[in-house]
Amino acid sequence: MTLRVESSAEYPIVREADVIDVRRRVRKLAQERGFDTFATAALTTGASELARNAWVHGGGGEARVEEVADGLRRGVRLTFRDRGPGIADIERVLAGGFSTIRSLGLGLSGTRRLVDEFEIDSSPGRGTVVVVTKWTRF
C-alpha cells in the first residue's frame, strides 16, 4: 500500500531546549491525529529519545515530522538526522544495554519497541538517520 505524506515540517536540534521543543510538537501532532493516550506517550517518548541522541551523541541535527496515511491507517513518521560520529556496531546498540555515556543504553532499543516501523542508517563518519512510524494505537 502506498504511503501518503499529508504534512511535513522540519525542526533543528542544536540545543537541549530543542529536544523538548520537538517532543512537544510531536505530542501535539499525535493528539491531533487521534492517537490515544498510550500511543501518544509511546511516540512522544521515542521522539524524545531520538532527539536527545541526535543532540548528545550526534552533536545536533534535525527532526522531520510528517503526518502519513496508507489508505487504512493514519500515523506519524519521524526522521532524525545528524552528521555526528555515527554508530560502529548497530546490532550491539539495538540489542540494548550498550551505552558510551554510562547510561542504561535503552534509548534506541526501547524506541524500536515503542513504534511500528523502525529504520536506522548509520556508520562511522557518516552520521546517523533514524526513521520511525507509528499508527494511532499503542
Partner 1 sequence: MRGAIPILRVGPNLLTTVHVELDDNIADAFQQDVLQAIERTGAKGLVIDISSLDEVDTYVARVLADTGRMAGLMGARTVLVGMRPEVAATLVRMGYAMEGVETALDVDDGIALLAVRRSVAGAKDTA
Ligand X SMILES: Nc1ncnc2c1ncn2[C@@H]1O[C@H](COP(=O)(O)OP(=O)(O)OP(=O)(O)O)[C@@H](O)[C@H]1O
Residues that bind ligand X (CB under 6 A): 49, 53-54, 57-58, 82, 84-87, 93, 98-101, 103-109, 128
Which residues 48-77 are close enough to bind Mg ion by CB under 5 A?
Answer: 53
Order across the sheet with 127-135: list the strands. 4-13, 61-69, 74-82, 127-135, 117-123
98 binds partner 1 (CB under 8 A): no
* Torsion from C-alpha of 53, 54, 60, 64, nearest 10 degrees: -140
Angle CA 28–30–31, to nearest 5: 65
Report if residue 133 touches Mg ion, rule: CB under 5 A: no
Residues at the interface with partner 1 (CB under 8 A): 16-17, 19-20, 23, 27, 37-38, 40-42, 44-45, 48-49, 52, 96, 103-104, 106-107, 109-111, 113-114, 138
